[in-house]
């Protein structure tokens, strides 16, 4: 089973669509409908799901709440992940206030190096010094949202790795070096802008990509 990374991203899209369908009171769907809403082919939907098992019934399609539950299970959203934010500048503070983390992700720590920020209350806690990471992370925090300035990102990542973090959501525009046991995802809007630049200049490429 060699699941492409892009398939995981599409599963997340299918899950969003299923949640929307459920909110609209729709009980059954099909690979055709999911594909149309996700802007991929029905074949792609079936292929992406086939990596993980056999879902749906030929000619009948999928039951929305069942497929939704299966996707949540595949993606690990049926459990609760402990999060922390490292870097309580503007972006970190906005994330601390963000109401949409959902039931699978829980903010459990807020860290900075700035003595003026340490001790300040935020929604859900108090900002602590990054020196406390080794005491706060183990057994409690699996994923860090890294929102420090670019220059500070690698050093902060090193501290998180030493503290036993399992995954880092990196908002800084740098390629972090971490041991291979630690997962990294980059949230990188400049890369997104650059992909748009390429896509706008290469409309034929985009058509091919979209099947």
Which residues participate in the annotated binding site for NAD(+)?
Answer: 87-92
Say whether residue 30 binds a second copy (CB under 8 A).
no
Say whether residue 152 binds a second copy (CB under 8 A).
no
Distance CA 99, CA 101 (A): 6
- Residue nearer to a second copy on the CB measure, 26 or 196: 196
Distance CA 17, CA 9 (A): 13
Is residue 198 classed as helix, strand or coil in its secondary structure?
A: helix
Say whether residue 60 binds a second copy (CB under 8 A).
no
Contacting a second copy within 109-138 (CB under 8 A): none
Backbone angles phi, psi at 156, to 5 degrees: -65, -40
Q: How far, in whole angstroms, is CA 59 from its chain's centroid?
A: 33
- Residue nearer to a second copy on the CB measure, 32 or 188: 188
**Among the residue ranges 11-19, 41-49, 58-66, 108-116, the one whose residues contact a second copy (CB under 8 A):** 11-19
Say whether residue 157 binds a second copy (CB under 8 A).
no
Position among 45, 83, 118, 161 found at the interface with a second copy (CB under 8 A): 83
- Residue nearer to a second copy on the CB measure, 66 or 175: 175
Say whether residue 161 binds a second copy (CB under 8 A).
no
Helices then strands, each counted (H, E), the chain = 9, 9
67-72: long-range contacts at Cβ-Cβ below 8 A with a sequence spacing of 24 or more? Answer: 67/14, 67/18, 67/29, 68/15, 68/18, 68/19, 68/22, 71/11, 71/14, 71/15, 71/18, 72/15, 72/104
Binding positions for a second copy, rule: CB under 8 A: 1-3, 5-6, 8-9, 12-13, 16-17, 37-39, 74-77, 81, 83, 90-91, 94-95, 100-102, 104-105, 142-143, 145, 166-169, 171, 173-175, 177, 180-181, 183, 185-201, 203, 205-210
């Amino acid at each position: 089973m060699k699941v492409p990374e892009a398939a995981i991203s599409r599963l997340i899209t299918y899950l969003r669509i299923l949640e929307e369908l459920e909110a609209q009171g729709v009980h059954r769907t099909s690979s055709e409908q999911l594909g149309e809403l996700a802007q991929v082919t029905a074949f792609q939907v079936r292929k992406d799901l086939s990596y993980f098992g056999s879902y749906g019934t030929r000619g009948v399609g999928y039951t929305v709440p069942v497929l939704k539950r299966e996707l949540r299970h595949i993606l690990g959203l049926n459990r609760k992940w402990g999060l922390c934010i490292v870097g309580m500048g503007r972006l970190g503070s906005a994330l601390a206030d963000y109401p949409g983390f959902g039931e699978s992700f829980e903010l459990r720590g807020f860290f900075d190096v700035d003595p003026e920020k340490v001790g300040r209350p935020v929604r859900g806690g108090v900002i602590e010094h990054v020196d406390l990471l080794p005491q706060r992370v183990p057994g409690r925090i699996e994923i860090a949202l890294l929102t420090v300035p670019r220059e500070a990102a690698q050093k902060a990542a090193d501290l998180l790795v030493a503290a036993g973090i399992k995954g880092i959501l990196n908002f800084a525009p740098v390629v972090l070096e971490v041991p291979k046991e630690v997962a990294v995802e980059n949230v990188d809007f400049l890369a997104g802008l650059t992909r748009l630049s390429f896509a706008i200049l290469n409309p034929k490429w985009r058509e091919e990509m979209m099947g």
